[in-house]
Structure 1
Amino acid sequence: MADYNTIVVGGGQAGLAASYYLQQHDVDHLVLEKHQLAHTWRTQRWDTFCLVTPNWQCALPGHPYPGTDPHGFMKKDEIIAYLDSFIAAVKPPVREGVAVQRLARRAGGGFELNTGAGDFSATQVIVASGGYHTPIIPRLAERLPASITQLHSEQYRNPGALPEGAVLVVGSGQSGAQIAEDLHLAGRAVHLAVGDAPRCARFYRGKDVVDWLAEMGYYDIDVGAHPLREGVRDNTNHYVTGRDGGRDIDLRRFALDGMKLYGRLQGLEGGTLRFASNLSASLDAADAVYNRINASIDRYIAEQGLDAPAPSLYQPVWQPIGDRAQLDITEAGISTVIWCIGFTPDFSWVDLPVFNGKGYPGHVRGVTAEPGLYFLGLPWLHTWGSGRFSGVARDAQYLVEHLLRSRP
């Protein structure tokens, strides 16, 4: 059995950041990656995917954004190139293509990791496999006609890869809203089942909203100080886009341009889909968040006495006249359904008593109650940026320093 001081499970940005700091402190370690380093970025993004946060927030340890457009938004190929250059700089000790099937306590102390490539042992383990593992596809999908092509958002690549015909996108979070826009811009007939995701402005009062929020200290708020506390981890991300230099995503404007909007998908009867009558409420709630964020920026500008363009209030450009309660699949010519309703975590391979009733690991800033077991790269592990390029370095440094203080 190969033995290491520390094993990192997962070779995305979190696992790579952990390896960076472990090397800084000469800690003997190994990264186990189920597929290929940065696998998710390489395989689970559509062709026109780009960052929704500006490039300056790409701040992996020792590897800030190297380009000439800090306020732009890197596209998929540029993101992969950025990660590949980080991998080349870190040179992590890694075994790719190795899936951990079970992580448990080892008799005598430490941990044992069982994999298809043999067993490993470690004194300490950092689980850096992220929090988005199992695509959510409802059981309703089983009853759709066999002629309908069904994809999860992670499988979508481009409009041309889909069969001819109309497309139903289910879910309006970041992926759903951007995929609906991608299809819409390509001239496809799009039907969108709207969820409860909030939205925010791309630019407001002279600069990117992300720049304002960073200046206001929002990205430094830790989960314990957030008004929702740990409940913020369940929040859906705001929809906005960095496409074509960045812009708002306004579902109401999509509707003006011909996209068909519905409330939450509720069921299927024969060949007819049923939707909840909550479209107006969902759009209003998203707009309220949009205006509330802008109002917080207004207050900050006023308090600081800053010179900035005048404030504004978003006013709806379209209102649904009643809710579309149903959609006949055949009459609408639906050929494809894209499920954009997220993922669930799957830590079933971690055979240790650290999870809550939702299957989410209990921890304080990534430190669990099991000595030597850590989690890294989860959404809101510590701050908003914990699962992102902007904040994972801070979390990785903290965990490695804790690991050094705690090791036998």
Structure 2
Amino acid sequence: MSAPLPTFVPVAVVGGGQAGLSLSAHLKTRGIEHLVLEKSTAMHVWADRRWDNFCLVTPNWQCDLPGHPYEGPDPDGFMRKPEILAYLAAFREKVDPPLLEGTAVTHVFPHPLGGFTVETSAGTLRADQVVGASGGYTVPIMPSYAGDLPASIAQIHSEEYRNAAQLPPGPVLVVGSGQSGAQIAEDLHLAGRQVHLAVGNAPRCARFYRGRDVVTWLADMNYYDMPVDMHPLREGVRDNTNHYVTGRDGGRDIDLRRFATEGMRLYGQLDGYEQGTLRFLPTLGKSLDEADRVYNGINASIDRFIDEMGIEAPPPSAYEPVWKPDAEPLRLDLAAEGIAAIVWCIGFRPDFGWLQAPVFTSQGHPLHKRGVTEVPGLYFLGLPWLHTWGSGRFSSVGRDAAHLAERIEEALSVARSPARLAAVG
């Protein structure tokens, strides 16, 4: 859509990713006028912030955006980056959203006469309802001492990583072992690079167990339909690090211990930097053990399900460590080890600085009930565990969008809209 910014719109959706376009699809179905505002291009993150060998870690059958389920030839496979981009391009074409790209939302605040004022790089408009669909992974996190490291060492965040050839020759330190860190470390390792990996507290899970993908087992166990208020951790689960596993080459486990037997150097959590040396905490053994405990625990829950349902399946098994650290390395001399590059994989933080409304915790996280805030007409969509595990993913973001579209329709009364009357009056 290329058109001037209107003075009023009943619903302004901030963010043109899969969440914003999913909501647009449901609003269009309900005949609700709206506008999606995107500072870059729709769903650009998948093209601009993913490495070349990136692939989904959940099976293709879980891709179920509104009116756009996966219909390819490999439902149990894992789409790679080009296939993901094609899937999303087809989704955008189906939705044909009212979309303004290259339009950054700079400020949103309640208007004293009702509704909201939405200030953008293209001008200002009024809206009765506003949906923050810009996601929870916005600003890359870098440590405060990154600037103190030698200038000879190339430093990039995971969102900038594309492939091993992008980095200068020599050993590479990857910091963080969540989904991105573990997969980037593997990508570099498979490319023949000497990898040093600072291991965090991320859990892991099996790719396949007892003859099926673990995701398929968990789906049959209704894990992915569990609402956040029924989870044992309640809202605390939103702070959890995702399990590391991969869909690469048809899918497999990521076993950091096996990488160590193949020459990858593992460390505990990074603790700081001084005079050319990085410090690490003695947490490596504990982190590996805890990740394996979660791995075996998930498999044990599948065992119980199989027994309860009387399902015929291959016999159970438990992971046994193939490597243990003899002594935990606590220091890394960057020059002595010839470290040429560091890839920071320590996550992102949300950025809702454009939204002036009392709907945030002291840490800046949105307060909501399934995306609905206590400020009338203000919503969030696409956040991790907004309602269920799949809320920020292709599997369930459409379901959350349908819920918000229903809430918006209930709350919206265009005929008596104070924002519309003020905008056109």
Q: Shorter-chain-normalised TM-score: which range? A: over 0.9
Residue 139 in 1 paired to residue 139 in 2? no
1:369 corresponds to which of 369, 374, 379: 374
**Letter matched to residue 50 of structure 2:** R
Structure-2-length-normalised TM-score: 0.95
Note if 1:275 corresponds to 2:241. no
How many residues are matched?
A: 408
Find 1:16's aligned residue among 21, 33, 37.
21
Matched, 1:289 2:298: no
Asked if 1:241 corresponds to 2:230, the answer is no
Name the structure 2 match of 1:168: 173
Q: Distance in 2 between the 1:153 and 1:190 partners?
A: 15
Counterpart pick for 1:89 among 87, 94, 108: 94
**Structure 2: distance between partners of 1:267 and 1:188:** 24
Equivalence for 1:127: 132
List aligned pairs for 1:21-170, cutoff 5 A.
21-170=26-175
Residue aligning to 1:314: 319
Q: How far is the alpha carbon of 1:107 from its aligned partner?
A: 2.7
1-structure distance, mates of 2:237, 2:379? 20
In the superposition, the TM-score normalised over structure 1's length comes to: 0.99
CA distance in 2 between partners of 1:84 and 1:407 (Å) = 30
Q: Deviations over 1:95-136 (max 9, x none)?
A: 000110000011310011101100011110111000011111
Question: How far apart in 1 are the matches of 2:145 and 2:271?
Answer: 9
Percent of aligned pairs sharing the same letter:
64
Q: Which aligned segments of 4 or more residues in structure 1 are displaced greater than 4 angstroms?
A: none
Separation in 2 of the partners of 1:352 and 1:385?
26
Whether 2:313 is the aligned partner of 1:301: answer no
* Partner of residue 356, structure 1: 361
Which one-letter code corresponds to 1:301 in the other structure? Answer: I
Q: What residue is the counterpart of 1:195 in the other structure?
A: 200
Residue 392 of structure 1 corresponds to 397
1:309-365 Cα shifts (integer Å, max 9, x gaps)? 000000000000010111110111101001000001111110011111110110000
Offset of residue 176 of structure 1:
0.2
Aligned-partner residue type, residue 123 of structure 2: G
The superposition leaves residues 229-271 of structure 1 with CA deviations (integer Å, 9 ceiling, x where unpaired) of 0000000000000000000000000000000000001111211
Query: Could you tell me how far apart the structure 2 residues matched to 1:231 and 1:52 are?
Result: 23
Between 268-277 and 50-59, report the one with greater CA deviation: 268-277
CA distance in 2, matches of 1:347, 1:271: 36
Partners of 2:237 and 2:194 in 1: CA distance: 35
1:335 aligns to what? 340
* Partner Cα distance (2:241, 2:144) in 1: 22
RMSD between aligned residues: 0.6
Aligned to 2:271: 266
- 1:21-40, Cα deviation, whole Å (9 max, x unpaired): 00001111100001000011
Distance apart, 1:140 and its partner CA: 1.7
Distance 2:94 2:350 in 1: 30
In 2, the alpha carbon distance for the partners of 1:269 and 1:322 equals: 22
Return the match for 1:253 from 237, 248, 258: 258
User: Which of 235, 247, 251 in structure 2 is aligned with 1:230?
Assistant: 235
Amino acid at match of 2:145: L
For 1:291, give the aligned amino acid: N
Q: Which residue of 2 aligns with 1:324?
A: 329
